[in-house]
Chain A
């Protein structure tokens, strides 16, 4: 095989440019690495056998014999995946039981949410303006969903559902939990013994127990601790638990950033005579938060996946709504399709976030700027 590499800086006369396009060269290199030696060859064949066992049947089910239009009977006749079922239930999985004629409200809310999230991923928007925008958008979105003012019909939170509520829990949990996380992280590194103990206890207690138990606690135990006559909406209780959970996990990530700051940064700020809060706000936190952004995104991916746990106290998030759709007597027996679709949606969202975090990690590395 012709070698396509050449020594740098030396002209090799009489040799043609590689006739093969780059991807073919890569494919050849791939194939060569796959069959280099008997052991590697055997491993490759094993992998191919596994793929052969998994992929064609799946393809046959998901594409060849799939039904994209029609009803349940058409699906059962074709015998493959029933994507018509997903088409039928798609908007239900996004909006849940939200009143049909009011669906423009969660739709608008989701649009604002997507715009805000996309804007927040762009480094050139990072700054005070973005914080202000979130501070305006977050209550606005809640008002839009809940109604009761500005002539919007009130819609009870028990009717909220689907991907909308997954987004609400994840984003509001983060928005409320993040400031708390910063305080907890600072508190855990405080010189004041009592403050340090308190923050450590909160962080460790929350991280030491499963999220489910926090959700149970918020759903069952919290109402007992409120004054008589005061009730808290179920979604609000979920948010309390989820916010606490987010705060504890984010606090540990941020603490990592605080500990990674060289002592010189603290000492320099002290030498300038800055007060504790000014030192933190102007010198330490901006750096500590920035270097931990990739870990923050990774933690958030975990927290986002954990929104599915609200099923245990009967809140209809995206996955639970899809499972509820399985009970439709006209469409019985299409559980696999629902699971594959839900897995696909979660995968796309989480994979996008993790790719984003890896890109950030590269661009935030010192010297990469």
Chain B
């Protein structure tokens, strides 16, 4: 064969054809190995086991679950547990991270260096170590009878965290609907006033009427007799009754993930704000804008463009890191899946299931953040 075939456009097709053949051949080889191996262990490929009874005891669940339920149900419980810790974790990590990022930029050198120390220590130690540490802290909490009671209705003990809960009844739904109506009303008002300002140049205060709606509607709902009832945790015998319980594992995982991720978020926020040119601050001050409005109208819109893309990967990291739950025994998706594999031997199927779920979560998060990023990026000229 002459070497001239290896030049020109034919070369590209040749390489791709070779890659395709190699991929297909490798795939078939691996598959035949897997079939032989599974046959040798008395297993058959298939998802039929999902309908079998799992017999996995799971400590905490958002949906009704007993060990007699199916593997499908058990994996769903694991997935919901992962989503719960990931969503709450992302929100709390953002809040803490922004606060720390701003503290890192404070004019007060004491606050600045303290925050810097926190960020360096947290970022330079492994998350597994931190999770084990927080779990150990939870286990060294006082017993239920001597539970710490930092705020009324909040109890911290070996059994985890107890907080007051809102009782899910029609009154609560009516109250929440009124609250949502108030928020939407404020948002509509803001949009109308902004359009009006663009048209006429006149600025009218929106805070008072907005607040009136946000607080007024719920007040009306209370006046109408729809009072949401709060359930307070109370000591009864050897444990608490009522209220919302967070298990020590969940609490340790949540605290660990939030504390860890917030350190990274803080650095992102800091560098995002620092990326805005000094001249922008000076120009805004020269226009006579007050400090809060400089931040909101001038600095943040520009900083967000820098902040959003790395934040996306932090949210993804937090979600993926939540799989470390297995180290401290919180029943998340990976943990339940691991038990399922040990019991059924259907490794390929179970691993395929949870990898697909994680990939889907990554793609959805990326898509959401890209959409938000596109909106923010529009502010660019």
Which positions in A face B, CB cutoff 8 Å? 30, 33-34, 36, 40, 43-44, 47-48, 50-51, 191-195, 198, 204-205, 207-213, 216-217, 220-221, 223-228, 301, 305-309, 311-312, 319, 323, 335-336, 339, 342-343, 346-347, 350-351, 354
CB of B88 closer than 8 Å to a CB of A: no
Asked if A210 and B321 make an inter-chain contact with CB atoms under 8 angstroms apart, the answer reads yes
State in angstroms the CA–CA spacing of A311 and B347 once bound together.
Answer: 19
Q: What is the predominant secondary structure among interface residues of chain B facing chain A?
A: helix
CB distance from A35 to the nearest CB of B (A): 9
Asked if B128 and A309 make an inter-chain contact with CB atoms under 8 angstroms apart, the answer reads yes
> B355-381 toward A: CB 8 Å interface, digit per residue (1/0)?
100110011000000000000000000
State in angstroms the CA–CA spacing of A54 and B346 once bound together.
Answer: 50
State in angstroms the CA–CA spacing of A50 and B107 once bound together.
Answer: 19
Asked if B351 and A34 make an inter-chain contact with CB atoms under 8 angstroms apart, the answer reads no
Asked if B108 and A319 make an inter-chain contact with CB atoms under 8 angstroms apart, the answer reads no
Please indicate the chain A residues that have their CB under 8 angstroms from the CB of B111 in the complex. Answer: 43-44, 47
CB of B271 closer than 8 Å to a CB of A: no
Please indicate the chain B residues that have their CB under 8 angstroms from the CB of A48 in the complex. Answer: 110
Please indicate the chain B residues that have their CB under 8 angstroms from the CB of A312 in the complex. Answer: 326-327
Tell me the nearest residue of chain A to B320, going by C-beta.
A210
Given the interface pairs A210-B321, A221-B348, the reply to whether A350 lies near B40 with Cβ below 8 Å is no
Asked if B36 and A228 make an inter-chain contact with CB atoms under 8 angstroms apart, the answer reads yes
Please indicate the chain A residues that have their CB under 8 angstroms from the CB of B358 in the complex. Answer: 208-210, 213
CB distance from A302 to the nearest CB of B (A): 9
Please indicate the chain A residues that have their CB under 8 angstroms from the CB of B320 in the complex. Answer: 209-211
State in angstroms the CA–CA spacing of A30 and B107 once bound together.
Answer: 11
CB distance from A267 to the nearest CB of B (A): 20
The listed residue (B12, B36, B37) touching A191 by CB distance below 8 A is B12
> B312-349 toward A: CB 8 Å interface, digit per residue (1/0)?
00001000110110110000001000100100000110
State in angstroms the CA–CA spacing of A346 and B326 once bound together.
Answer: 22
State in angstroms the CA–CA spacing of A312 and B335 once bound together.
Answer: 10
Given the interface pairs A216-B351, A305-B126, the reply to whether A30 lies near B109 with Cβ below 8 Å is yes
Please indicate the chain A residues that have their CB under 8 angstroms from the CB of B36 in the complex. Answer: 227-228
Tell me the nearest residue of chain A to B37, going by C-beta.
A224
Asked if A194 and B20 make an inter-chain contact with CB atoms under 8 angstroms apart, the answer reads yes
CB of B38 closer than 8 Å to a CB of A: yes
Please indicate the chain A residues that have their CB under 8 angstroms from the CB of B212 in the complex. Answer: none
Asked if B110 and A47 make an inter-chain contact with CB atoms under 8 angstroms apart, the answer reads yes
Which positions in B face A, CB cutoff 8 Å? 12, 15-16, 19-20, 23, 30, 33-34, 36-38, 40, 106-111, 114, 120-121, 123-129, 132-133, 136, 316, 320-321, 323-324, 326-327, 334, 338, 341, 347-348, 351, 354-355, 358-359, 362-363
Asked if A339 and B108 make an inter-chain contact with CB atoms under 8 angstroms apart, the answer reads no
13 more A-B residue pairs beyond the given contacts A50-B114, A213-B358, with a C-beta to C-beta distance below 8 A: A36-B107, A48-B110, A195-B15, A208-B362, A209-B355, A213-B355, A220-B351, A228-B36, A308-B127, A309-B128, A339-B136, A343-B133, A354-B124
Given the interface pairs A40-B108, A347-B125, the reply to whether A311 lies near B362 with Cβ below 8 Å is no
State in angstroms the CA–CA spacing of A253 and B351 once bound together.
Answer: 28
A-B contact pairs, 28 of them (CB 8 A): A33-B109, A43-B106, A47-B108, A50-B114, A198-B23, A204-B359, A209-B355, A210-B323, A212-B326, A213-B351, A213-B354, A213-B355, A213-B358, A217-B351, A221-B348, A223-B37, A224-B34, A224-B347, A226-B37, A306-B126, A308-B129, A335-B136, A336-B136, A339-B132, A342-B129, A347-B121, A347-B125, A351-B124
CB distance from A156 to the nearest CB of B (A): 23
Tell me the nearest residue of chain A to B17, going by C-beta.
A194
State in angstroms the CA–CA spacing of A36 and B40 once bound together.
Answer: 77
Asked if A225 and B30 make an inter-chain contact with CB atoms under 8 angstroms apart, the answer reads yes
Please indicate the chain A residues that have their CB under 8 angstroms from the CB of B334 in the complex. Answer: 210, 212-213, 216
Please indicate the chain B residues that have their CB under 8 angstroms from the CB of A210 in the complex. Answer: 320-321, 323-324, 334, 358
Tell me the nearest residue of chain B to A225, going by C-beta.
B30
Which of A225, A335, A351 has the most chain B CB atoms closer than 10 A to its own CB?
A: A225
Please indicate the chain A residues that have their CB under 8 angstroms from the CB of B108 in the complex. Answer: 33-34, 40, 43-44, 47
Asked if A40 and B107 make an inter-chain contact with CB atoms under 8 angstroms apart, the answer reads yes
Asked if A343 and B110 make an inter-chain contact with CB atoms under 8 angstroms apart, the answer reads no
Tell me the nearest residue of chain B to A352, going by C-beta.
B124
State in angstroms the CA–CA spacing of A216 and B350 once bound together.
Answer: 11
Which of A198, A216, A311 has the most chain B CB atoms closer than 10 A to its own CB?
A: A216
CB distance from B366 to the nearest CB of A (A): 9
Which of A33, A204, A211, A220 has the most chain B CB atoms closer than 10 A to its own CB?
A: A220
Asked if A351 and B327 make an inter-chain contact with CB atoms under 8 angstroms apart, the answer reads no
Please indicate the chain B residues that have their CB under 8 angstroms from the CB of A221 in the complex. Answer: 347-348, 351
Asked if B37 and A228 make an inter-chain contact with CB atoms under 8 angstroms apart, the answer reads yes
State in angstroms the CA–CA spacing of A209 and B363 once bound together.
Answer: 11
Please indicate the chain B residues that have their CB under 8 angstroms from the CB of A223 in the complex. Answer: 37
Query: What are the 5 closest A-B residue pairs judged by CB atoms, nearest first?
Result: A350-B124, A210-B323, A208-B362, A210-B320, A305-B126
State in angstroms the CA–CA spacing of A34 and B136 once bound together.
Answer: 36
Given the interface pairs A208-B358, A221-B348, the reply to whether A226 lies near B33 with Cβ below 8 Å is yes
Please indicate the chain A residues that have their CB under 8 angstroms from the CB of B126 in the complex. Answer: 305-308, 319, 346
Asked if A319 and B124 make an inter-chain contact with CB atoms under 8 angstroms apart, the answer reads no
Asked if B121 and A195 make an inter-chain contact with CB atoms under 8 angstroms apart, the answer reads no
Please indicate the chain A residues that have their CB under 8 angstroms from the CB of B33 in the complex. Answer: 224-228
CB distance from A55 to the nearest CB of B (A): 11
State in angstroms the CA–CA spacing of A311 and B131 once bound together.
Answer: 13
Given the interface pairs A43-B106, A210-B358, A311-B327, the reply to whether A192 lies near B12 with Cβ below 8 Å is yes
Asked if A343 and B321 make an inter-chain contact with CB atoms under 8 angstroms apart, the answer reads no
CB distance from A51 to the nearest CB of B (A): 7
State in angstroms the CA–CA spacing of A336 and B110 once bound together.
Answer: 28
Asked if B15 and A208 make an inter-chain contact with CB atoms under 8 angstroms apart, the answer reads no
CB distance from A4 to the nearest CB of B (A): 18
Please indicate the chain A residues that have their CB under 8 angstroms from the CB of B107 in the complex. Answer: 33, 36, 40
CB distance from A313 to the nearest CB of B (A): 10
Asked if A198 and B19 make an inter-chain contact with CB atoms under 8 angstroms apart, the answer reads yes
State in angstroms the CA–CA spacing of A200 and B204 once bound together.
Answer: 51
Please indicate the chain A residues that have their CB under 8 angstroms from the CB of B38 in the complex. Answer: 224
State in angstroms the CA–CA spacing of A191 and B33 once bound together.
Answer: 34
State in angstroms the CA–CA spacing of A335 and B36 once bound together.
Answer: 46
State in angstroms the CA–CA spacing of A209 and B354 once bound together.
Answer: 9
Tell me the nearest residue of chain B to A310, going by C-beta.
B128
Given the interface pairs A216-B338, A339-B132, A347-B124, the reply to whether A225 lies near B106 with Cβ below 8 Å is no
State in angstroms the CA–CA spacing of A43 and B102 once bound together.
Answer: 13
CB distance from B311 to the nearest CB of A (A): 16
State in angstroms the CA–CA spacing of A351 and B119 once bound together.
Answer: 11
